[in-house]
Amino acid sequence: MPESLAFPADFLWGTATSAYQIEGAVREDGRTPSIWDTFSHTPGRTAGGDTGDVAVEHYHRYRDDVELMAGLGLNAYRFSVSWSRVQPTGRGPAVQRGLDFYRRLVDELLARGIQPALTLYHWDLPQELEDAGGWPARETAYRFAEYAGIVGEALGDRVSSWITLNEPWCSAFLGYGSGVHAPGRTDPAAALHTAHHLNLAHGLGTQALRAALPARARIAVSLNSAVVRAVSDDPADQDARRRIDNLANGVFHGPMLHGAYPADLFADTARITDWSCVRDGDLAAIHQPLDALGLNYYTPALVSAAPDGTTNGRADGHGASEHSPWPGSDDVAFHQTPGERTEMGWTIDPSGLHELIMRYAREVPGLPMYITENGAAYDDKPDADGRVHDPERIAYLHGHLGAVRRAIADGADVRGYYLWSLLDNFEWSYGYGKRFGAVYVDYETQARTPKSSAHWYATVAGAGELPAESVVI
């Protein structure tokens, strides 16, 4: 730890959520199904057949949830807009009732001194667009740009921080490669084409936002860039690391931040696609100037060349599937990293967050960064008095906030941290079985109870300083 544990005075302390995971009200005020509605209602896709139909009723309880944030002294909140609530078919004019919800939410946040950070896409493509081809179809990128402009026009007068896409890797490779996320397709070529069209959507969406927003607005993207490590210095293991790094990271940050795909990515995946989906002018459209970079981090990846006679060991932490989310990498093995784990089975390793931040500090010097997601799932339960103690999450947060502070001390321009998540909620294909929230939700009554980690985080945010380790343990 650096000698000073204080964060910059203007550092943002926030939490994050996404629309489908918390809103509920899936059939109200003109909203139509997204791919996650369809996926979660398909038998066998989610644990226990859970869906986001009700979720945690944020659509009706948003004022209470903003009050929770204000009570914890937080000054930032990252949320996402439900595309099909605003533009039900993914085309044409907006439904004002849908936009009005986000207007009310933003007004409530601003009234309580909480800065809104709006994410346009957190995985919930309108089902009608999926039926028309989904993200493997180029047209979807243009539909996203239209949607971005609509939301920008509606909320640009009151929202300054904008994020185009959340974790496009998951949308592309878990949604269209391994099939563990919506829409549940398992086509490696489609996954790679999706990656390109998400990149294009980001670029076109950024252009649409620039046209709609005041000059003071800040535009970013949130990447779940992986920290990929090799099990040894053996050249075969190092080559496995290179290939997975390209698929996890270079496929997105290459065109977005540098204006080019890694050349060896095309060579590695040539037997899957000829990349003819990349057309003249696309890279220029994708490579738009950004005001910030959002980084989401949970755990590192450990890889090697697969032993002879085996294919793609899948200890990659991304769900069970016979289909890999790593196109062209069947001869790469994934290994469990050593150390303590969360309920997701993910290794707790704050050094990976420091490594990730410093990588981008070198690659794009001068570009401010925000940690737009970081957190942990644990098996939280109320005690006899109704309190929820989660010392494991406090230790997790202490370690990762320490990594952020070390990166700042090492010269990285990190300006904020968004804890994932504000509330226990629908955790995608895991249903309601994994609790990431700083606030415990009783799913039967929807009662909210801040956990001990929420109070700890509030104390850190209020002081702007990380306490000594001994306070946590």
What is the set of active-site residues?
167, 373
Question: Pick from 200, 87, 61: which is nearest to 152 by CA?
Answer: 87
Could you tell me which residues come within 8 angstroms of residue 12 by beta carbon, excluding any fewer than 6 positions away? 75, 76, 115, 370, 415, 416, 417, 418
Place of tokens 């060579």: 267
Q: Are the beta carbons of 412 and 406 closer than 8 angstroms?
A: no
Instruction: Give the integer Cα–Cα distance in Å for 70 and 112.
Output: 6
Q: How many residues does the chain have?
A: 473
Instruction: Give the integer Cα–Cα distance in Å for 395 and 430.
Output: 24
Could you tell me which residues come within 8 angstroms of residue 372 by beta carbon, excluding any fewer than 6 positions away? 16, 78, 117, 163, 166, 220, 222, 294, 295, 296, 418
Rounded to the nearest 5°, which phi and psi values hold at 312?
35, 75
Instruction: Give the integer Cα–Cα distance in Å for 84 and 87.
Output: 5
Instruction: Give the integer Cα–Cα distance in Å for 168 and 302.
Output: 21
- Distance (Å) of CA 216 to CA 78, 160, 325, 369: 18, 7, 38, 17
Rounded to the nearest 5°, which phi and psi values hold at 323?
-110, 135
Instruction: Give the integer Cα–Cα distance in Å for 454 and 473.
Output: 16
Tell me which DSSP letter residue 466 carries: P
Instruction: Give the integer Cα–Cα distance in Å for 343 and 347.
Output: 10
Helical ranges in 25-126 per DSSP H:
35-40, 58-71, 83-86, 96-111
Q: Are the beta carbons of 173 and 326 closer than 8 angstroms?
A: yes
Could you tell me which residues come within 8 angstroms of residue 117 by beta carbon, excluding any fewer than 6 positions away? 14, 76, 77, 78, 79, 159, 161, 162, 163, 370, 372, 418
Helical ranges in 135-234 per DSSP H:
139-155, 168-169, 188-212
Rounded to the nearest 5°, which phi and psi values hold at 348?
-90, 115
Instruction: Give the integer Cα–Cα distance in Å for 224 and 168.
Output: 8
Q: Are the beta carbons of 172 and 135 closer than 8 angstroms?
A: yes
